[in-house]
Structure 1
Amino acid sequence: MASASTSELSDSFQNKSHLLVAAIDFGTTYSGYAFSAVSKKDDIRVYTDWGNVVAVPSAQKTPTVVLMRNEGNKCLAFGYDALHDYSELDEDEIDGYSIYQKFKMSLHTTKNIGRATYVPAKRGNATSAMGLFSYGLKYLAEHLIGTVGKETGESVTKDQIRWVITVPAIWSDAAKQFMRQAAFQAELIPTKDSDSLVIALEPEAASLYCRQLDINHLLCTGDSKMGVGTKYLVLDCGGGTLDVTVHHLKEGNKIAELYKATGADLGGSKVDENFIRLLEAILGDSVITSFQRSCASDFLSMMSLFEQKKRVVDPVKKQSLNIPLSSALGDLYNDMTGDRLKNAISPEWKDKGVAFKNGLLCIPHDMILGVFAPVVDKIVSHVRKLLQVEQVKAISHILVVGGFADSPYLQYELKREFGAIKKIIIPPDASSCVMKGATMFGHDPSSIISRNSRKTYGTDVYPMFDPTKHDAGKTKMYGDKLRAEGLFRTWIKQGEEVRMDKALTFSHVPVTPDQTNMSIGLYCSDHIDPRYCSDSNVEQLGNITVQLPGSGLDRKVEVKIMFGGTEITVEGRDCRPGGAKTRTTVNFLSD
């Protein structure tokens, strides 16, 4: 655990009105949490004992893996516990269980995200993404509450905690809402729209944490001091995604976003995929495919070991990668080929330096660099292109965070490419600074004073048809009036700076005396100035539903939409004298 005595933390809970801020970093490959008491917000604690199940010292995160019993679709274990329990299953039991890994990527790659979204298993049956996420969040939350109890001697309940869940900045509004729904289903919050949950953007969280670090403890190039006025790029290289934001450090230690968040499907898991392809090339596609299917526990253990090896592959130290191959793989290879695994290396691969020695597959240095190169090259290319954007040219620092930031190869290439023109900063705790910063964000969400809109947002309107302005093919009769159908009315343009405290306000009146609610379509586009909501470059995000209290045509409801936060939020108010807030919901999910 982090420093600060148990008694000091316990003192923070003597007054039960004090809340705890707890941040859950639910990652593609690994997950963890951090927390601090409101009265001692700078005393951020990170749980570091995840690895005691598998004798991994000081593990700040646990694998994002869920074990499920197929009968009844019952989730049984999470993290190292899931891997351990799965490895203990007898061969005749294993078909009754499924194991799920790296399922977070489904929220980035699925176009229409809904409560019924399904994800495939590493081995076993496809299952509900909502079930997996809610189980994982509940497991981590309950583990955290248990840790707080042990550390403080005080019991804390979920409703005394302000929860923070981290997500990539490039995630869709639907994906963010999905995580909120999962937190509600996991019983972290009492209602889906509860302000007891804050969604934090991962690169922003890292930025908040790193702005206050002692630069003498950073791996950096050049004079890396950051003060008011500093403009810098945050490169969050996680397990699943590359997530990039551009920030400006303002007075009062506040942060403004200079350019919209960008990124790609370029996390450390892409290196894993390349490694698997290399194994397939060396040992045979069918062998590795069968190994994943028939010996899933051994395969997952091998990939966990490779995850550790990724942190030592260095372009300067020309060392081969030696990885043990399990006896189960040897038995499988013998069953499939009639030969021993040590004879699997063909003369062609031997000529390239591949060898099998004492149960270890030895891969030469240049070949293992080839596993990393396609991913690292694309990350470098992404940064290079960003630095050509007008709003980004002026940055002086590149802050590199995330689990993949620990890769010496990635560090080397970033410094080689940009070290002469930008100051490269790599925190020593690059993989944990997101959850630490997310805890800070939970204490003060106003730390980020403005963001740049990633998309153009608006709604559909139906004005009177004007042949000089509107497309004659997109009209509709409403009563005896010919109206243009579904024009895109822009609220926020792509790239526009949106302050945290800015709200778009408009009013609506009922169409009929007995109307009880109204629905407002919410649309978005990657174009600056879309014309019609039916255009191919426009998609409907969802609907805003506002309750209309009372009856009659003389009613009016004021609607406020806030785009400057990490989530789009909506508020409605009855405009009649003494009118109160009216129930307002926004839905981005497809079901």
Structure 2
Amino acid sequence: MTSNMEVDDDFDWSSTDSDDEYEEEVDKKTSVCKKQIVASIDFGTAYSGYAYSFKNDWTKVITHPWHGGEYMTQKAPTTLLLKPNGEFAEFGFKAEKIYAELAEDEKHEDHYFFRRFKLILKPKLTERVNRETLCADENGKEFNALKIFTYCIEFLKNSLLDDINKTIKGEVALGDIQFIITVPAIWDDTAKMFMIEASKSTGIQKDQLKVVLESEAASVYCQYMYLEEDKAKTRRDFQDKLIPGFKYMVIDLGGGTADISVHKRDYDGSVEQVIQPSGIDWGGTKVDDAYWKFFCDLFGEDSMKRFKDECTEDYLDFGRKFEVQKRSGKLTTSDNLYIRIPLSLSEVLDYKIAEAISSSKYREIVSFDSKSFKLKLPFSQFENLFKETSDRIKSYLDELWKKPELADVDTVLLVGGFSECYIIKDMIRNEMKSRKKHLVLPEESSLAVLKGAVYMGHVPDAVTTRISKYTYGIQNWPTFDPTIHPEEKKIMVGNEARCRDVFKKFITRGDKLKSKYPKTFILEVLKPVEDTLECSVYLSKKEDPKFIDEEGVSKVGSLKVILPKVEKGTVIDIEEEISILETEVEILARELHKFKEFKEKFDLLSPDILKKK
């Protein structure tokens, strides 16, 4: 039978935790992971990588260096090359090198070449992301997006296994590893499920996979970075600030997004969310786009397109050199910046670089030295390439600082690959100085998410309190009240009029959630002569939904409770405990006549739920 019950409104619906009751602080130097190894995969817009550590020495996180010609990085370019038949060819620097060679021989057109495709999962498109979603490559050819992501994760997973086996000089089974996948805060659950599906397609099982927010991973890294043996005293200084009640903000600037989280230290050593993690899709790639547009305005879109299509190797190297320039500081001896022009681009322009500049809108400020083959432009013009992205991030932070919950936040940590760009770093530094905030710049800030995700696998309770993204409730059939209940919801149960399908909420969107403290309440079975009762949980993005069948309400799952055989007139009560976990809902029901227990766990990221959200 379907759920029909009445909630005992005299029962205390609040969680059983008390502000005066805290667990003793756990030893953070002991991993509680059930696997021998924790590995994180940071699948970035511009760069991707992995890191891992062993349970017996979990603070020693190992990363993998990637080599591409004269470049050596801690992450590989998020670049994928597929064969004409759709099979995997290469990933990262090797994908770029092979594709450039194919282009040189004019054999590339049948191949698929993907860069920065993670952006298809950004929020405004997530409703359309599914197993059939297509993604266009650099030349406009479409391919199944789920297979693209699966290929990339498969490559990173296999490279990780090779690394581990070389380290231990043995063979590690896939099942010995706990995997952590990081995602931006601005992604909704549909995009998270997409990443889980792609991971599962590589052989990673659901029970060994966890999805965490990039901003939270960065925050956890900042908590435990002092444990790494080679870290500077400043890292211990931040740890010393982490007393109960201390609040701090983490700004994580990546290639595709700027993610913000604010946490508060708890008495048990964990942290809780102060506000819902959030962000905007303005990261380092927006500056890359501005850089490209600058050259299109300077030399013409057609010429730059020819350069990209016909001189692929130089085009890719052109972008890598800009990555280096973004991180380099301004020369103190000059107010100008010099950019070397590839010979192949000069050939595309018929060696008429000066003529192209003279007919552009930059003719008054940009010049070309034919001997050094370098453009000279004012440093202020180079800074203009960052202005829109910088302004967007600044405006977003300005809005966040208006929140009353942030009034006593005086420490800010800046992490992420894009944070290593000195222009953006200076903007953040000046902003924090004007607001009289203490800015912390961790070493290896570009690895904060990667390493923090590994920490979260070893210490899963590092973040114990989160802000609910949804309103949760159960189905209730209260006494019908014609002043508040619609007539079409009226139903007779015995001789009493009831209102069916009422959404009885027990958590409101924006409430704080602690997984250790379930919500507990009593249900009275309205039809005790039935064989079973369904205890269902529903969710909605609305703060105050009225009925379970209205638009925007989704059923999380139903727990079937077998009712005892009783005589007519016997009252049966059900005690129900509901725990809202990170990506799951756990329901425990105990019928109070025979005292039998029933338990079920439901996945908040299941496709059936996501279709209705």
The two structures share one fold, judged by TM-score above 0.5: yes
Distance 2:369 2:525 in 1: 76
Please say if 1:41 is aligned against 2:58: yes
Please say which of residues 62-71 and 359-368 is displaced more in the overlay.
359-368
Please say which of residues 141-150 and 128-137 is displaced more in the overlay.
128-137
Please say if 1:77 is aligned against 2:93: no
**Pairwise CA RMSD:** 3.8
- Partner residue, 1:422: 437
Question: Tell me, which stretches of 5 or more residues in structure 2 are unaligned?
Answer: 1-29, 567-571
Please say if 1:177 is aligned against 2:193: yes
Distance 2:155 2:585 in 1: 28
Please say if 1:93 is aligned against 2:107: yes
Equivalent in 201, 204, 208 of residue 213 of structure 2: 201
Q: 1:252: Cα distance to partner? A: 4.5
Distance 1:585 1:499 in 2: 17
Corresponding letter in the other structure for 1:36:
S
Corresponding letter in the other structure for 1:429:
E
Q: 1:139: Cα distance to partner? A: 1.1
- Partner residue, 1:9: none
The answer (yes or no) to whether the contact 1:257–1:452 under 8 Å persists in 2 is: yes
Matches within 5 A, 1:541-556: 543-546=555-558, 548=560
Matches within 5 A, 1:130-529: 130-189=146-205, 192=206, 194=207, 196-213=208-225, 217=232, 226-228=241-243, 229-293=245-309, 295-312=311-328, 314=330, 320-334=336-350, 340-347=352-359, 348-355=361-368, 357=370, 358-420=372-434, 421-458=436-473, 466-470=481-485, 475=488, 489-504=504-519, 521-525=538-542, 528-529=543-544
Equivalent in 7, 31, 37 of residue 20 of structure 1: 37
Matches within 5 A, 1:522-541: 522-525=539-542, 528-531=543-546, 539-540=552-553
Distance 1:578 1:292, change over 3 A: farther
The answer (yes or no) to whether the contact 2:479–2:497 under 8 Å persists in 1 is: yes
Distance 2:468 2:305 in 1: 43
Distance 2:293 2:463 in 1: 42
Distance 1:309 1:395 in 2: 33
Question: Tell me, which stretches of 5 or more residues in structure 1 are unaligned?
Answer: 1-11
The answer (yes or no) to whether the contact 2:222–2:448 under 8 Å persists in 1 is: yes
Give me the identity figure in percent: 26
The answer (yes or no) to whether the contact 1:68–1:77 under 8 Å persists in 2 is: yes
Distance 1:28 1:514, change over 3 A: farther
Corresponding letter in the other structure for 1:448:
V
The answer (yes or no) to whether the contact 1:319–1:364 under 8 Å persists in 2 is: yes
The answer (yes or no) to whether the contact 2:576–2:590 under 8 Å persists in 1 is: no
Please say which of residues 578-587 and 91-100 is displaced more in the overlay.
578-587
Distance 1:74 1:424, change over 3 A: same
Distance 1:333 1:579 in 2: 77
Distance 1:316 1:493 in 2: 55
Distance 2:318 2:262 in 1: 37
The answer (yes or no) to whether the contact 2:415–2:445 under 8 Å persists in 1 is: yes
Distance 1:452 1:517, change over 3 A: closer
Instruction: State the SS of the aligned residue for 2:130.
Output: coil
Distance 1:68 1:561, change over 3 A: farther
The answer (yes or no) to whether the contact 2:253–2:418 under 8 Å persists in 1 is: yes
Instruction: State the SS of the aligned residue for 2:451.
Output: helix
Q: 1:343: Cα distance to partner? A: 2.6
Corresponding letter in the other structure for 2:363:
K
The answer (yes or no) to whether the contact 1:20–1:161 under 8 Å persists in 2 is: yes
Q: 1:245: Cα distance to partner? A: 0.8
Q: 1:282: Cα distance to partner? A: 1.4
Instruction: State the SS of the aligned residue for 1:529.
Output: coil
Distance 1:469 1:26, change over 3 A: same
- Partner residue, 1:32: 49
The answer (yes or no) to whether the contact 1:502–1:564 under 8 Å persists in 2 is: no
Distance 2:526 2:172 in 1: 46
Deviation per residue, 1:336-359 (Å, 9 max, x gap): xxx734432125422123436444
Distance 1:544 1:425, change over 3 A: same
Q: 1:521: Cα distance to partner? A: 4.8
Distance 1:279 1:557 in 2: 69
Q: 1:387: Cα distance to partner? A: 1.7
The answer (yes or no) to whether the contact 1:345–1:356 under 8 Å persists in 2 is: no
The answer (yes or no) to whether the contact 1:315–1:369 under 8 Å persists in 2 is: no
Please say if 1:63 is aligned against 2:77: yes
Based on CA coordinates, which of the two structures has the bigger radius of gyration? 2
Distance 1:569 1:156, change over 3 A: farther
Deviation per residue, 1:80-135 (Å, 9 max, x gap): 12111111214432111121122222222323132223222222422222212222
Distance 2:156 2:166 in 1: 15
The answer (yes or no) to whether the contact 2:474–2:504 under 8 Å persists in 1 is: yes
Please say which of residues 485-494 and 379-388 is displaced more in the overlay.
485-494
Distance 1:277 1:138, change over 3 A: same
Deviation per residue, 1:323-345 (Å, 9 max, x gap): 444444444445xxxx7344321
Distance 1:416 1:316 in 2: 19
The answer (yes or no) to whether the contact 2:37–2:53 under 8 Å persists in 1 is: yes
The answer (yes or no) to whether the contact 2:586–2:601 under 8 Å persists in 1 is: no
Distance 1:304 1:141 in 2: 25
Corresponding letter in the other structure for 1:25:
D
Instruction: State the SS of the aligned residue for 2:241.
Output: coil
Corresponding letter in the other structure for 1:522:
L
Corresponding letter in the other structure for 2:412:
I
The answer (yes or no) to whether the contact 1:548–1:557 under 8 Å persists in 2 is: no
Distance 2:483 2:47 in 1: 57
Distance 1:470 1:428, change over 3 A: same
Distance 1:397 1:185 in 2: 41
Deviation per residue, 1:440-471 (Å, 9 max, x gap): 11001111121122444457778676442246
Deviation per residue, 1:367-415 (Å, 9 max, x gap): 1111101111221222222222111010120100111110111121122
The answer (yes or no) to whether the contact 2:354–2:367 under 8 Å persists in 1 is: no
Distance 1:163 1:239 in 2: 22
